Every structure is written in C-alpha cells, then in structure tokens.
Amino acid sequence: MKILIVEDQHRLGRFLKQGLSECAYTVSWVCTCREARDALADTNYDVIVLDLGLPDGDGLNLLSEWRRVGFNEAVLILSARDSVEDRIKGLDIGADDYLPKPFSFDELLAHVRSLLRRQSAVKQTVINHRCVRLDLLGHTVELEEKAVDLTSREFALLEIFMQNAGRTLTRSYISERIWPGLSDTNLLDVYMSRLRNKLEAGLSEPLFKTVRGVGYRLV
C-alpha cells in the first residue's frame, strides 16, 4: 500500500514517514503543493495524508484541484485547523477523513487503516470521465450515451487512461501493460490514432493530449 504525506513541518514529516514505513507501507513525503502535484502525476497512491498550511499554497485548494481533474485517491486531512467549520469545509471539498493536530500516531494509523479498508471494499466497475462511460463488467463503452465499438486492445488502452485520468502516462508504461514484453512502442501510436478516431470525432475539445517525448494524457 502506497501513502503520500504532504507536510511541510520537517520533524513531523520525518516522524510520519518513519512510523508508517515501519508498519510496512510504502511512503513518499513531500513538503509543497508543487511537489505534491508532481508526485500524484507520477504514480497512484492508496492514501494521501494532507496538511493544509503549505508554504506555496493552501491544501484545500490543492485538494479541490485534484478532485476537479478526477483524482480519486483517499485523502486524510491533517491540520491544526480544528474548528467544526474547517472540518465541514474540508470534507465538502473532497476529503475522506479529517484528523486535527495534535494527534497520536496510533490514532492516525487507525484512520489510515480505515481508509484503506474502505478503498478495498469499493469495487468500481463503471468509470466516467467527461462524456465517456466505461463499464468494466459489461465490457462496454459509451460516448455521450451512445455505444462505441472497441476491440479488446482498444478497450484495455482506454481503461488505463480512465483509471489514470489527468496523469501523463509514458509510452513505455502504456505499452508494457497492453503488449507485455514488446519493446516496439510504435504500435501504440497506431492504437492511439484508432482510439482518437472513435472517441474524439464530433467533440469540441480532444480527450487525449500528446505530451511530446513522454507519452499521452486523458484530459
């Protein structure tokens, strides 16, 4: 299980990283909004422990930004702002839990375990992004409520993007998951062209963005 800590107090950040690592979690620790954006764009996390008072911005604005672009990681706000109004605002913006400072590590650990249980219990079978609906069980795709016929490879490719909406995925990352062991990433360009032809025709704005020299992003 992977946990991202966003905390600018170095003593507390080191303490949380060490404590959670000793509990067998894979832990990353960053101190700023910019570093948090980069970390979340690079990989998936199971839980994010988010402080609100960061040196280059407000954690609530960062959380709102994440939810707006489709990131759905479980977020535990950890903050000295402990009024009822602060908690309500954080939860309304998109936090899954709220733990005021000061706190005990055992209590934090219990909150993290609770979020992880909740995440594992939710089996998302339908994924929506903008006007696209992907049904994992039915193996169907709808664009603006109209069925789209995709091959199994095209469906698998779209699923990767839908599961990582807003993230830039490298060509090698995508290719390895669609064609394991195949080093020729030129095949990806062919399938991306097919997917775009089937999904972007008639839309006012594209669904996919090509990041030159890196890969693609579902926007």
Which tens digit of pLDDT belongs to each residue from 3-31? Answer: 999 999 999 999 999 999 999 999 999 99
CATH number at residue 96: 3.40.50.2300
182, pLDDT greater than 80: no
Largest CA distance in the chain: 55
Domain boundary among 87, 121, 155: 121
Q: Are 216 and 193 in contact (CB under 8 A)?
A: no
Per-residue confidence (pLDDT) for residue 160, from 0 to 100: 92
CB neighbour class for 39 (10 Å; exposed up to 12, middle 13-18, buried from 19): middle
Up-side HSE of residue 144: CA atoms within 13 Å toward CB? Answer: 8
169 in the same domain as 105: no
pLDDT (mean) for 202-207: 89
Query: E strands of 62-179, at which residues?
Result: 74-79, 97-100, 126-129, 132-135, 140-143, 146-148, 168-170
* Host domain of residue 187: 126-218
Cα 182 versus chain centre, distance: 27
What is the tens place of the pLDDT at every residue in 76-103? Answer: 999 888 788 888 999 999 999 999 999 9
123, pLDDT greater than 60: no
42 in the same domain as 113: yes
- Partners of 76 in the beta sheet? 49, 97
What is the tens place of the pLDDT at every residue in 25-72? Answer: 999 999 999 999 988 877 778 899 999 999 999 999 999 988 887 677
97 in the same domain as 35: yes
pTM (two decimals) = 0.62
* Identity of residue 201: A
86 in the same domain as 181: no
Q: Give the strand order in the sheet containing 146-148.
A: 126-129, 132-135, 140-143, 146-148
- pLDDT class of 136 with cuts at 50, 70, 90: confident
